[in-house]
Amino acid sequence: MSIGIVGATYIAAAVLFILSLGGLSGQESAKRAVWYGIAGMALAVAATVLSPDVANIWIIAVMVAIGSVVGWMVAMRVQMTEMPQLVAALHSFVGLAAVFIGYNADLELRRVLGLDLGAKSQLIGFAAKLAEKDAIEQAILHVEVFLGVFIGAVTFTGSVIAFGKLAGRVDGKAKKLPGGHFLNAGAAIASLVLLVLYFNGAGIWALVLMTLFALFIGYHLIMGIGGADMPVVVSMLNSYSGWAAAAIGF
């Protein structure tokens, strides 16, 4: 698939996503909106997998097939009244995926930077794209990776707690550690400091430490909200998962 076709496919997918979100505002149009979303995601996946820079397509195809089968089996076993906790569980996977993708980008960039020019010329796919980046583009990538991992980690633990409260597996009462939101603020400030260090060439330890802070923020933030408010929290986490995917997708 040529670059032009890939770009056109992404635009079509984006239009379908917008139509899907607009259709969810009404009960009658919701079913059609779901199909818009399915079609948009199918186009986005196809454009990504079939783009010129992607190698080992068969591995991706196998993983997509496995994920599709597992998703179908889980969805068929869940009652409509259990949809909120299913959505929360799926959001946790989106956040975790953003974390994994961020770490992969960091490790791959470090590997590519350690290669000589001859080895870099033999690279393909994502590694080849990384090898083409100049210092400014690498700095931008570091910020994108950091933000994607941070939001993804918050989304992951927050969604897990939301799922537990909706499913009755976690106490629905609001619980906070001594210090309340000051702990969340402290963890956020520490993460900001780590961002500055990471941006200025700190090792992967800064990313790992920030991930721990972000996991705590997600856990403590949602634990401090009562179970009756979990449907609203799920909507908030839906937004978080979207921002995580957007941050890591660049």
**Confidence band (pLDDT; 50, 70, 90) for 82?**
confident
Sequence spans of domains, the chain: 1-52, 80-249
Q: Look at residue 1 and give its three-state secondary structure.
A: coil
Which tens digits make up the pLDDT trace of 141-184? 888 899 999 999 999 999 999 999 888 888 878 887 887 788 98
Average pLDDT of the segment spanning 127-132: 83
Query: What is the C-alpha separation between 35 and 99, in angstroms, rounded?
Result: 28
H or E element in which residue 129 lies? helix 125-131
pLDDT at 206 over 90: yes
Residue 15 has what pLDDT?
A: 94
102 in Cβ contact with 248 (< 8 Å): yes
The reported pTM is 0.83
- The pair of three-digit structure tokens given for residue 190, joined into one six-digit string: 């520490």
Percentage of residues in the chain having pLDDT higher than 90: 32
Query: What is the C-alpha separation between 218 and 238, in angstroms, rounded?
Result: 13
pLDDT at 1 over 70: no
39 in Cβ contact with 111 (< 8 Å): no
- The pair of three-digit structure tokens given for residue 112, joined into one six-digit string: 């590519």
Which tens digits make up the pLDDT trace of 24-41? 888 888 889 999 999 999
Average pLDDT of the segment spanning 92-106: 91
Write the DSSP string, 163-211.
HHHHTTSS--S----TTTHHHHHHHHHHHHHHHHHHHTT--HHHHHHHH
